[in-house]
Structure 1
Amino acid sequence: MSLVDLGEISINIQDTGTGTSIVLVHGIGLNGDGWINQVPLFAEKHRVVAVDLRGFGKSSKPTAPGSYAIDNFANDIIALVEKLGIAPMHYVGTSLGGFIGQAVALRRPDLCRSLSLCHTASVTDIPAKVREVRLKTLRKKSMTQYAHLVCDQALAVHVRPAVHEWLCDIIAGNDREVYAQAFTEGLQGFDVRQQVRSIRIPTLVLTGELDRVIPPEGGRETAALIPGARLVEIAGVGHISYLEQPHEFNDTVLGFIDEVDRQS
């Protein structure tokens, strides 16, 4: 792991492997460590950069108002890719990371070789019940209790208890105030449904059949809006298929990336 200085903030990354680059971007409350089932495999043929977004993991945690707007997350990814000299990249983003990926692609399509948008949508339309329960728990309960709520909402299949606890530990390790700010600023007011019609980058949209956080309808809409996008729905999984069904996730995403590379 290493910290990359981007000026006002530093971004922590895992950087391993050689070949065409893959940038892995997590969702809210997680960090680059969550890609434990992807990094070693993907790095067999690619340079893999797993990012801790601002506010999470070992990256800087700014507190100024607006710090966690989607545009600021996108600015970080753009600056990071340019500083590392890894463009054009295969961008793989899940949930919040999928929102960020669309923002990056719209602003700097030259940096993107492909997009894999997982468990995401083109508008922040998280069900009101999910949002309300999370915010209430975040305000009134411990971060450990909040983490278990998030895992219960996000995971749809039985995972090994050790994996469940490991995921909860990552979420519980977040700074409560920073998390609340990121949840409020990063998951509201994003709507690029009209703009994504202009994307001409090879795009995979991956959804989970049982996703209650960002239901699969959101991904289906995104796939319909982006010209030529490929839609894949993984049966029986919730919001974190890369942990719930890592083999199917890996086969789908890596197969798509390798196909794009062969055609480039």
Structure 2
Amino acid sequence: MKRSLPMPYVVNHPVKIHFQQIGEGPPLVLQHGFSDSISGWYEAGWVKRLGRHFRLIMIDARGHGFSDKPHSPTAYELGHRVADILTVIDTLGLERVHYLGYSMGGWIGLGLADTAPHRLLSMALGGIHPYGQDMSHYRTGVAGGMSRWARLVQQAAGGHMTDSGLRRIQANDPQALAAAVAYDRPALAGIANKRHCPCLLFVGENDPLLPQVERFSSELPETRLVRIDNADHVQTFYAAERLAPAILAHIKRNELPASV
């Protein structure tokens, strides 16, 4: 697999966004969850399983990884996060892409589908729904510092976090993460009735969000739902071995025609 030169960035008025590319083929944007970074896609096995099939475009969300980390809550409004994705794919000269997002990354994907559906070929979204979400648990968690937040994530993962994953969480900027969850997520009213692209939803059977994800699946046209046995919200992200075949098949069914 071909890998890009290190540390490519784009600037979205005025936030600097870091991204990486690896592989060749149809373009697939990967957006990670809260307090993670691009490195999580490697560690959980997603790059190994998908990088041989697609041109992976992995983005460090604002406030995370090597991207800028503003401390103002308004910097993390959904419209700004969506614009970060669009700035990356515009810079790469891509008109339409496939999109894979987990948790916070799935929320950003819903924002893309809501405001720029014409830029999407397909979506695969995990652990997310459009009905609004109380973020007070996250606010309380990060308020205790990054070491405490890392322990909470490790507990949620059943104690199976790697040392490198824990260090990655602990290295986050606590003020940036606090700003990122300062507001509850608003409902995206009527998204299921708007112009849509084929969507695959996935969720752990022990994830508290399961009922809302199931509801969303029933309301969204052209949607398939994959449930992961014996997995909660954190553990599902690490189920790449079980999820990758379904996501691969989903994306392959909606590949960009060669003439485009």
TM range (shorter): 0.7 to 0.9
Match of 2:188 in 1: 192
- Deviation, 1:230, is 1.0
Q: How does 1:162-241 map to 2 (within 5 A)?
A: 163-185=161-183, 188-212=184-208, 215-241=209-235
Q: 1:220 to 1:112 in 2, by over 3 A?
A: same
Partner SS, residue 187 of structure 2 = coil
Partner SS, residue 260 of structure 1 = coil
Q: Which structure dedicates a bigger proportion of its chain to helix?
A: 1
* Unaligned segments of structure 2, at least 5 residues: 1-5
Q: TM-score, normalised by structure 2?
A: 0.88
Partner SS, residue 124 of structure 2 = strand
Structure 2 CA distance for aligned equivalents of residues 11 and 55 of structure 1: 9
User: Do 1:209 and 1:238's aligned partners in 2 also have CA atoms closer than 8 Å?
Assistant: yes
User: Do 1:3 and 1:12's aligned partners in 2 also have CA atoms closer than 8 Å?
Assistant: yes
1:14 to 10, 20, 24: 20
User: Do 1:242 and 1:250's aligned partners in 2 also have CA atoms closer than 8 Å?
Assistant: no
Q: Deviations over 1:86-135 (max 9, x none)?
A: 33111001111111111111211121010111111112324x7xx34x43
Q: TM-score, normalised by structure 1?
A: 0.87
- Deviation, 1:2, is 2.2
Match of 1:138 in 2: 142
Q: How does 1:103-142 map to 2 (within 5 A)?
A: 103-126=111-134, 131-132=136-137, 134-139=138-143, 141-142=144-145
Structure 2 CA distance for aligned equivalents of residues 79 and 173 of structure 1: 26
User: Do 2:123 and 2:200's aligned partners in 1 also have CA atoms closer than 8 Å?
Assistant: yes
Structure 2 CA distance for aligned equivalents of residues 146 and 206 of structure 1: 25
Structure 2 CA distance for aligned equivalents of residues 65 and 262 of structure 1: 36
2:151 to 136, 139, 148: 148
CA RMSD of superposed structures (Å): 2.1
* Unaligned segments of structure 1, at least 5 residues: none
Range moving further from structure 2, 163-172 or 22-31: 163-172
Q: 1:146 is matched by which residue type in structure 2?
A: W
Range moving further from structure 2, 41-50 or 254-263: 254-263
Match of 1:87 in 2: 95
